[in-house]
């Protein structure tokens, strides 16, 4: 499972570097990454973004009820110069 999360984070980091290389809108200074199925996967991807030199926010979860966490998804923001 750790190898899968690592590969997911590595792939996301590559995608992120290519995505942010595209011209950004004048008012765009952050990019929301996700959804991730697990908090560990989101944290690994955020760490990869930091490793690439980007500033990343903490990971947060959305959705899912207290009785049904299977619908919960995790996100984080990546910040870059406008």
**pLDDT score at 26:** 46
**pLDDT score at 7:** 57
- 37-80 pLDDT tens trace: 999 999 999 999 999 999 999 999 888 666 566 778 999 999 98
What's the total number of domains in the chain? 1
**Which residues on adjacent β-strands are paired with residue 76?**
33
CB 65 within 8 A of CB 71: yes
2 pLDDT more than 90:
no
Alpha-carbon radius of gyration of the chain: 13
Domain of 68? 2-79
**pLDDT score at 10:** 60
Give residues with Cβ within 8 angstroms of 37, minimum separation 6. Answer: 73, 74
């Amino acid at each position: 499972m750790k190898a899968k999360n690592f590969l997911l984070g590595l792939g996301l980091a590559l995608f992120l570097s290519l995505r942010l290389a595209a011209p950004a809108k004048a008012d765009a200074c952050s990019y929301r990454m996700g959804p991730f199925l697990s908090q560990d996967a989101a944290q690994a991807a955020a760490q990869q973004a930091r490793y690439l030199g980007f500033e990343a926010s903490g990971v947060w979860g959305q959705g899912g009820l207290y009785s049904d966490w299977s619908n919960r998804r995790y996100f984080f923001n990546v910040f870059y110069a406008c």
